Amino acid sequence: MALTPRFFLLLLLIITTLSPLQARPSTFHSRHARPNTFHPHHTLKHCNFDKIYQLGDSISDTGNLIRENPFGPATPCAQLPYGKTFFKNVTGRCSDGLLMIDYIATAAGLPFLNPYKNNASDFSHGANFAVVGSTAQPVHVLAEKNISSLVTASSLNVQLEWMFTHFNSICEIDCAEKFKHSLFMVGEIGGNDYNYALFQGKSIEEVETMVPDIVQTIKDAAQRVIQKGAVRLVIPGNFPIGCQPIYLTGFETNNSEAYDGYHCLKRLNSFSKYHNTHLQQAIRELRQENPNVAIAYGDYYHAFHWVFRNAQYLGFDIESRQKACCGNGGNYNFNVVRMCGDPQVPACANPDRYFSWDGIHLTHKAYKMMAQYLISDISRQFQCFV
């Protein structure tokens, strides 16, 4: 499954130039004041969380990248039709509506998390430090491996510094007391380290050698958060990337043996499992080292796969399960030359029938279904019962 040089060069050009779109700073909300309208069973309410703090990448960013000058406001997720389903405007979320962290906050009875880069925000119920395109490893560490971090320099270590700066402003002495009812989401992070490596010509075997260092970086970040007083953490794993349109397009092959029964690329999904296995071992070590801290594994892989397998029964169009709602061309409605956010790229009329929003990220509805799976699992792991 070799990545064609032409595809890589096009992808590199698109991402490094952050799309040829004009910035439209007036189109995104400075504050996310729209009320929550999603009401699940509120199973996380029994956990009594009063704040949530999020680290991560585009799976979780609610508006940080679009506030990173000079390029943030010109990035694809800062343009319509992103946000069109729920907010009716762009917010910096890389979907047509809500993300999993929005549903998790709602299930805990809390407001949506405001992005840290929005200085005018209310952070009384937590803050979101995640940034679209961010990596687990610092950009200089990736550069030493000849891997370019193409979107932002706000890697996990930078987000941690933001978080600790914020903590210094809200608790001078006993942070542990202040955070005893807080939930800390450490990721999902690390996916972009692999994305950049694979789309810059590294083989899967080469990228596999990166896994121990990336997992160690995530483990170290979690330990630093624990040292600041965190007592309940979720550390999510990676998605089955072999089911996503961007990878199905970039690694498309005529070899039928490369695909599983759901037409996902087996080797790429095996790689995701490899990362997740290492991450789960790191979580077991963290639990042993911190016996008084509850650490849950966020099983994004199986949440994704559960929704994907049951797409038809959940109201998705089975024929469009691996096509981008917002995209143009090819077998998966994904074209790296013209991606979602480009004014000439159309969005489907009914995103709720689609699993993938833009070929890279999921739709509002897909994230909702995944979140319901995760909320139940997290509640079980934290033993949040009536």
Please give the positions annotated as active site: 58, 358, 361
Which candidate, 88, 29, 36, 96, places its Cα nearest to that of 63? 29
Question: Distance between CA atoms of 342 and 18, rounded to whole angstroms?
Answer: 11
Q: Are 241 and 268 in contact (CB under 8 A)?
A: yes
Residue the block writes with tokens 């909320």: 375
One-letter amino acid for residue 269 of the chain = N
Residues 6+ apart with CB under 8 A from 262: 243, 308, 309
Q: Is the dihedral of CA 12, 13, 18, 24 positive or negative?
A: negative
Rg of the chain taking only CA atoms, in angstroms: 19
Q: Are 369 and 307 in contact (CB under 8 A)?
A: yes
Question: Distance between CA atoms of 136 and 199, rounded to whole angstroms?
Answer: 17
Strand order in the sheet with 232-236: 126-128, 51-55, 182-186, 232-236, 294-298
- CA 236, 241, 243: angle at the middle one, nearest 5? 125
Question: Distance between CA atoms of 80 and 94, rounded to whole angstroms?
Answer: 10
Residue 9, Ramachandran bin (φ over 0: left; ψ between -120 and 50: alpha; else beta): alpha
Strand partners, 135: none
314, with CB counted inside 10 A (0-12, 13-18, 19+), is: middle
One-letter amino acid for residue 124 of the chain = S
Kindly list the distances between the CA atom of residue 122 and the CA atoms of 82, 117, 315, in Å, as whole numbers in the listed order: 24, 12, 36
Question: Distance between CA atoms of 147 and 128, rounded to whole angstroms?
Answer: 26
Q: Pseudo-torsion of CA 200, 201, 203, 204, nearest 10°?
A: 30
